[in-house]
Copies of this chain bind each other. A is one copy, B any other.
Amino acid sequence: MTFDDTPATSPPSLAEAKAQFIHLWGVSATSWGVSKTLAQVHALLLVSPKALSTEDIMAQLTISRGNASMTVRELLDWGLIYKELRLGERREFFVAEKDMLQVTRCIIRARKRRELDQMKRSLDQLANLPGDAADVEYQAFHSTLTDIQQLATASDKLLTKLMQVERSWFWDKFLKLFL
């Protein structure tokens, strides 16, 4: 990526805009409990028309080999990037899933599994606690837990539906229905 010296008043170069987008994606991720590097590697690949090697990623984001390796592996787990193998090349290249509907599905799937499903198990256990229905302390606990459980179940079902939804249905029916 070339260095460039344009004055502050002109529109940013493509390289600058990419850097800004990568930065933005990193900052946003952080406030949703996702590691900055994970998001930045994702952003870099999202705006890259061709597959990048680990070396490319290290160089562009100035991160260590270890970090790049771990991060790429996690993105593969999420399903947000793919390996691209080339004949006669030892090293691996990576491309991002570019379809944002698909990206959304991956993110919902991963986070639902990791956090919502786990939480529902704990809630089920706690909400079943037997107790004295006349005790105001017990009542407060039990009714709050039940309400949260209900909300968790509703969220779960909604997210499951959203993941399964067809592209055409999504853009045609769903959006027009609500928006």
Contacts and interface: CB of A to CB of B under 8 A. Distances in A.
Given A21-B126, A100-B148, A126-B20, A131 B14 contact: yes
Nearest to A48: B140
Nearest to A98: B144
Identify the interface centre among A20, A49, A130, A150: most chain B CB within 10 Å of its CB. A49
Given A31-B114, A140-B48, A141-B47, A178 B151 contact: no
A119 to B, nearest CB: 5
A85 interface: no
A31 B35 CA distance: 10
A71 to B, nearest CB: 18
Interface residues of A, number: 51
A47 B177 CA distance: 37
A158 interface: yes
Contacts of A126: 17, 20-21, 24
Interface in A27-42: 28, 30-34
A11 interface: yes
Interface of A: 11-12, 14, 17-18, 20-21, 24, 28, 30-34, 46-49, 98, 100, 104, 114-115, 119, 122-123, 126, 129-131, 135-141, 143-145, 147-148, 150-151, 154, 157-158, 161, 175, 178-179
